[in-house]
Chain A
């Protein structure tokens, strides 16, 4: 048995808007081993970010509420922890970086202060020690002349550099898990690949497990070992990155892969998945993908399929019923 650091079991998180329940995450289960890189792919509104925020215990309540399931960090259920206990884990054992590096740093504090903050909080460092460690962390994320830069403010940094600072901050307490919520989406392509290379590098160096959330399959291919494809709050396919690209099973996964523009080969019209992604709670009966699927049958309309094992993959589709 490998060393599992995080196990999410049947997580269900809903938002209550106008007294209506919108199940953003409708029963999601997965495991992350120490040092593993797991990717979650899905369209906007598929529940991938909500899954991440649920793990961090940062769902805004109200309107959000974790309705059920468990999140086991090294065997301890985070959902049963008090806010005070969670604060000791957040930013220390499990940390997170976000989509918007431009706005994720506090504009009125220096980079050094923001980096030192979690070190002073979690590692009981003095200001001096924290500053030294902060410089070290900035070196680790390859920010030039860190001694000078810790005295500067976020507005003096570019987007890519700010994301480096965010990564340095997230990794400063040597966490077991880093949750990266679309950290490259807001950056331009060259910076994107630099940041990804950095994350991959740090994963190897520090052994921090990474939960990487993205809607970009290209990013997934470069970075992660295993992939979860989410659709409308549920996992529709769970496989290794090799299998996802070589033998995708779920019609949605196939659709996603087909809709990636190809550089090689003859020019052809870009494929897309017809229809629109349903809202959380919109589909109450049958398969969540039935409205957009080319293989839809009567069975799909009536009942939601379970996750079937196909080779090494898990697929939520009736076509793989045994």
Chain B
């Protein structure tokens, strides 16, 4: 097991290196120039030159890249061009906001979706299945930002149960959680259902029945453990999205999270902040993949490690 994990971690290294190159190049080759933004429209060529020198933008690209890597290794993500403070500090403020919503959404969606999906599969083609699955279809079709706006209108503006926007208490969490999780529940429930239906057809379920096992223990034991293999994989992959999945919702609810921070930085061409945010995002996804790989082995003994 440990060997398998180490192997997976070693395999992550080239992905990480590739990621830094892409992140670095993407922003440097993109049109638009942060120097103009800092210097303002009436800056003299000398001012621009001095700003470029200060930021290291006058050096060749390859030198800039290695400087970037070196800083990265030290946990130095650079200084925000606009806010004039370390990017690391900005990320440290924004990340918990995003992670709080992401983890809450991930947990709530799986806790609700798994039983829902099992129920729909076990009672397939009955009203329980029809209601939960048509509900899921509706929930899946509703965009999260729209749901967020409707939730703000109904629960915050009209009923005044929850704050309209912001961050801080659990009450600030409820509406964004609702907006972002409903779709997730629907997607996951449908996946659990179809995975379960696939498993129920299998020969080993017939074997379990022929042993005289109770239907309940067949479903919750023999069927569920097999049906959870793809679901657990998805859970692992979703871990990566805890960090990056809520950008739109953060904007709708004015939550000072990583997604919103990154979008603002993109508008401002605040290179170091965008780079920092993208590195955190991609690192989260790579780590999520690693967790998915590990979970996969836990549930499926056929994966050799």
Contacts and interface: CB of A to CB of B under 8 A. Distances in A.
A105 B226 contact: no
Interface stretch (B65-73, B200-208, B245-253): B200-208
A98 interface: yes
A210 to B, nearest CB: 15
Contacts of A108: 225-226, 229, 299-302
19 contacts: A58-B209, A87-B213, A87-B214, A88-B212, A90-B209, A90-B210, A91-B212, A95-B210, A103-B203, A106-B204, A108-B299, A108-B301, A109-B222, A110-B301, A118-B212, A118-B213, A121-B211, A121-B213, A169-B207
The 6 nearest A-B residue pairs measured at CB: A91-B211, A91-B212, A90-B212, A103-B203, A106-B204, A87-B212
A56 interface: yes
A105 B226 CA distance: 12
A106 B226 CA distance: 8
Contacts of A87: 212-214
A104 B302 contact: no
The dominant DSSP class at the B interface is: helix
A104 B211 contact: no
Given A104-B203, A104-B206, A121 B299 contact: no
Contacts of A287: none
B210 A107 contact: no
A216 interface: no
Interface in A175-211: none
A178 B292 CA distance: 43
* A interface residue count range (under 10 / 10 to 19 / 20 to 34 / 35 or more): 20 to 34
B212 A109 contact: no
Interface in B194-242: 202-204, 206-214, 222, 225-226, 229
Given A91-B212, A169-B207, 17 more contacts: A58-B210, A88-B212, A91-B210, A91-B211, A98-B203, A104-B203, A104-B206, A105-B204, A105-B207, A107-B302, A108-B225, A108-B299, A108-B300, A108-B301, A110-B301, A121-B213, A170-B210
B30 to A, nearest CB: 48
Contacts of B226: 106-108
A95 B210 CA distance: 7
A153 B206 contact: no
A96 B301 contact: no
Contacts of B212: 86-92, 118, 121-122
A87 B214 CA distance: 7
Nearest to A96: B210
A106 B210 contact: no
B229 to A, nearest CB: 8
A204 to B, nearest CB: 24
Interface in B172-207: 202-204, 206-207
Contacts of A155: 301-302
A117 interface: yes
Contacts of A58: 206, 209-210
Contact of A103 (B202, B208, B213, B299): B202
* B interface residue count range (under 10 / 10 to 19 / 20 to 34 / 35 or more): 20 to 34
A186 to B, nearest CB: 11
Contacts of B211: 90-91, 95, 117-118, 121, 169
A150 interface: no
Contacts of B204: 103-107
Candidate in B209, B212, B214 with the most chain A CB atoms within 10 angstroms: B212
A86 B212 CA distance: 7
A33 interface: no
Contacts of B301: 107-108, 110, 153, 155
A25 to B, nearest CB: 18
Contacts of A121: 211-213
A10 interface: no
Interface in B263-305: 299-302
Contacts of B300: 107-108
A113 to B, nearest CB: 10
A106 B209 contact: no
Contacts of B206: 58, 98, 104
Candidate in A92, A103, A107 with the most chain B CB atoms within 10 angstroms: A107
Contacts of A134: none
Nearest to B226: A108
A236 interface: no
A117 B209 CA distance: 12
Contacts of A43: none
Nearest to A166: B207
A168 to B, nearest CB: 12
Interface in A97-147: 98, 100, 103-110, 117-118, 121-122
